[in-house]
Structure 1
């Protein structure tokens, strides 16, 4: 079985719902990472909920990593001057090509682009918490200080905790 697969919106929604339940039940370690066996548990639950789905733990692991990366990028774009959010199309918008060009010059390894739909944007914060950094996405101390105020403001205005 290949490690690559194409996910439907329904499958993403089911996976995120399962992960939200795991988080609500305390399924993350003190470090914020998920407990051992989470990927297999999610794959098993998905097989129960979706008929004829052919999914393994590695698929879940890969999708979770990609979702976290996409969320981190969309979050950073959304909180950068010149970017916004289109609630109708569920995507980050950009005020002009020069803004996007400047952003991509500063952040060349981004996997998410403005104007591409991200229908689950608001849900990953529940799954991943406020720690958006991954090995390839770690923030500098200056970036972290800049984001502290934004995350606090977001949690007070959007209802995230």
Structure 2
């Protein structure tokens, strides 16, 4: 029974698949293999595009992708809440009011070490400030 995936009815009449253990293990293994090769390919392209850079798959690319994923999830979270919107022209999140923002920050705080959107923006700005070349220009990688 564990080797056979099944399908059942799901919302809106779409079939829903259930993954068996072997299928899940195979997917996870494939994703790990893809991740390693993807990061290594990114490293090769960055090294050829930016001669003299010290950016590497680990820890640099890995860390940057984790941060971007976290930021993306935060944006998705905001856009799924009433009171937030997207300005496609300026490519930015819009907030209806200070109350909406304060409620969002308060509701998302999970503890002393939780990073709220304001902290995330400050961290990004600090990271951008640290990512300058010797001539003082913004790094094109950032």
Residue 40 to residue 111, structure 1, CA distance change in 2 (3 Å)? farther
Q: How far apart in 1 are the matches of 2:36 and 2:56?
A: 15
Normalised by the length of structure 2, the TM-score is 0.52
Q: Which has the higher contact order (CA 8 A, sep 6+)?
A: 1
1:3-18 maps to which residues of 2 (within 5 A)? none
Aligned residues: 86
Which structure 1 residue ranges, 4+ long, deviate > 6 Å from structure 2? none
Contact 2:108/2:116 (8 A) holds in 1: no
1:48 and 2:45 matched: no
Which residues of structure 1 form unaligned runs of 5+? Answer: 1-28, 117-161
Contact 2:78/2:84 (8 A) holds in 1: yes
1:1-161 maps to which residues of 2 (within 5 A)? 30-31=27-28, 34-57=34-57, 58-108=59-109, 109-110=114-115, 112-113=117-118
Q: How far apart in 1 are the matches of 2:53 and 2:105?
A: 36
Higher-Rg structure is: 2
Contact 2:105/2:117 (8 A) holds in 1: no
Cα RMSD of the aligned pairs, angstroms, is 2.3
